[in-house]
Amino acid sequence: MLALRNSPSNRASRGKPSSPPLPARWESFRRDAEQRRQAGEEVPHCTPVAEGHDTVGVLARSADGRLAGGCSTSGLAFKMPGRVGDSPIVGHGLYVDPGVGAAVGTGHGELIMRICGTFLIVEEMRRGATPLAAITTALERIARDCQPLPQQQAAFLAVSTDGRWGAGSLRPGFQAALRTAFLDSLLPPHVILLKDA
């Protein structure tokens, strides 16, 4: 999604980074992109900010089954001016239905937005799917419909009102943190759809 005001300053800034990156990093990105273009490779319009930086999503369930969720994103470096990712859009980066469950997503927002990722997961749970089965459905849809590039990632967490939860990712590299009255741990996702990537 893009949200641009049609002003001379916005028109002039197209193609330039909208966040103030370090000049050396911008030049390195620009040189790499040009070399990839000359080699005939597809060049993404942005790159992750840094390894290990992405959306932070939190889902919480109280002892009596009440649900809450929140997410915050670090965004992408060198993004197109006006790019809006999935985090602030209900049903894309986060969705909570108090009577069903909650889901949060991370990764390349364009992949998650194309399938209304978190809304899809909660709706699958409404139809009777477990959180893990619902996440798997969303990841399969991304793989099938979006045909993600090798460097693109998407991952989800989901919890139902009865306390069942799941974590899954398109590719390796995602972890989930779980904290209960009895456990405080980083865990691998229950499912990784594309393990060879």
- Span 44-76, pLDDT tens digits: 655 544 444 567 888 999 988 899 998 887 666
Residue 29, domain member (yes or no): no
- Average pLDDT estimate for 120-135: 98
Residue 185, domain member (yes or no): yes
Which residues partner with 57 through β-bridges? 71
Residue 13, domain member (yes or no): no
Two tokens at 56? Answer: 């932070």
Residue 138, domain member (yes or no): yes
Whole domain around residue 100: which residue ranges?
47-192
CATH of the domain at 174: 3.60.20.30
**Cα separations in angstroms, 125 against 58, 63, 118, 174:** 18, 20, 11, 22
pLDDT of residue 101: 97
Instruction: Indicate the number of domains in the chain.
Output: 1
Give yes or no: 55 in active site: yes
Residue 41, domain member (yes or no): no
- The catalytic position among 47, 55, 73, 106 is 55
Residue 5, domain member (yes or no): no
Residue 33, domain member (yes or no): no
At residue 36, what are phi and psi to the nearest 5 degrees?
-65, -40
Angle at 166 between CA 187 and CA 91, to 5 degrees: 120
Residue 75, domain member (yes or no): yes
Give the pTM: 0.75
Determine how β-strand 94-97 pairs with β-strand 76-77: unpaired
- Average pLDDT estimate for 122-133: 98
